[in-house]
């Protein structure tokens, strides 16, 4: 299966597999079968095997997958085997929370530049990172930072995105409720938290 186009859905699940593998390793499990991983992640065993098969044959029939080895492979596929630096734009409530969020480390991600337009915040040092003025976004070019996180109001999101693209950013995680118009070479993933929550009442039973 190695030479096929990879479904986006498969890429979306790869970090889940990595999480499951790390969980197994913590518990000292050396080998894990697709069935056991399935119980942990609630993704079907066949789905797991098919997803992995797109990239090669990592398992051993009768045994399963070597947790350490497979974790390394997946990290390689996701290109997170070497650390990735990210720039955060917007140090409001959400931006601050993201900056302090401890979960990025497990995936080799590090926020190593922060920008805001509030003079009261510029110059401050949070989490060992100095807050810079958004007008300085262009300096990212020299820092080999390819990922950007947008945590600004919707009205400013597009202009921030434009600046990020101009600064050489190639992947954007966008929290603003707004479609970002960027060149095709730039990958954008948008998370609109309110919109996700807005979907929950639909599933509530009809009776109050």
| 35 is a site residue for DNA (CB under 7 A) | yes
By CB under 7 A, name the one of 22, 40, 41, 58 that touches DNA. Answer: 58
Query: Residues with Cβ < 8 Å from 97, sequence gap 6 or more?
Result: none
| Partner whose footprint covers residue 21, from a copy of itself, DNA, none (CB < 5 to 8 Å by kind) | none
Options 4-12, 21-29, 93-101, 143-151: segment touching DNA (CB under 7 A): 4-12
In whole angstroms, what separates CA 104 from the centre of its chain?
8
Options 27-35, 99-107, 159-167, 180-188: segment touching DNA (CB under 7 A): 27-35
Helix and strand element counts for the chain (H, E): 7, 9
Q: CA 160, CA 156: separation in Å to the nearest integer?
A: 6
Positions in the binding site for a copy of itself (CB under 8 A): 11-12, 14-16, 18-19, 40-42, 77-80, 84, 86, 92-94, 96-98, 100-101, 103-104, 106-109, 144, 146-147, 149, 170-173, 177, 179, 185, 187, 189, 191-205, 208
Q: How does DSSP assign 105-166, residue by residue?
A: GGGTEEEEEEEES-TTTTT-EETTEEEEEGGGGGGGGGGT--EEEE-S-HHHHHHHHHHHHH
For DNA, give the closer residue by CB, 34 or 112: 34
- CA distances from residue 140 to 143, 146, 153 in whole angstroms, order as listed: 5, 8, 21
Backbone φ, ψ for residue 149 (5° rounding): -120, 125
Shortest separation between residue 67's beta carbon and a copy of itself, angstroms: 17
By CB under 7 A, name the one of 30, 39, 57, 97 that touches DNA. Answer: 57
Query: Residues with Cβ < 8 Å from 54, sequence gap 6 or more?
Result: 1, 2, 4, 6, 7, 10
Binding track, positions 174-203, relative to DNA; x by CB under 7 A: ------------------------------
| 33 is a site residue for DNA (CB under 7 A) | yes
| 65 is a site residue for DNA (CB under 7 A) | yes
């Amino acid at each position: 299966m190695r030479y096929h186009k990879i479904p986006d859905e498969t890429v979306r699940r790869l970090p889940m597999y990595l999480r499951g593998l790390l969980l197994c390793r913590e518990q000292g499990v050396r080998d894990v079968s697709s069935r056991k991983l399935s119980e942990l992640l609630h993704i079907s065993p066949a789905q797991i095997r098919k997803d992995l098969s797109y990239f090669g044959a990592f398992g051993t029939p009768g045994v399963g997958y070597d947790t350490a080895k497979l974790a390394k492979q997946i990290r390689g596929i996701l290109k997170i085997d070497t650390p990735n630096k990210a720039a955060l734009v917007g140090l409001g409530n959400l931006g601050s929370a993201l900056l302090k969020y401890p979960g990025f480390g497990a995936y080799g991600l590090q926020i190593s530049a922060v920008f805001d337009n509030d003079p009261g915040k510029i110059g401050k040092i949070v989490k060992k990172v100095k807050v810079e003025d958004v007008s300085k976004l262009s300096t990212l070019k020299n820092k080999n930072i390819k990922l950007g996180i947008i945590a600004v109001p919707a009205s400013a999101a597009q202009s921030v995105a434009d600046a990020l693209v101009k600064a050489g950013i190639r992947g954007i995680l966008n929290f603003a409720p707004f479609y970002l118009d960027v060149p095709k070479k730039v990958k954008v993933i948008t998370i609109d938290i309110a919109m996700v929550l807005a979907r929950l009442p639909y599933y509530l039973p009809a009776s109050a």
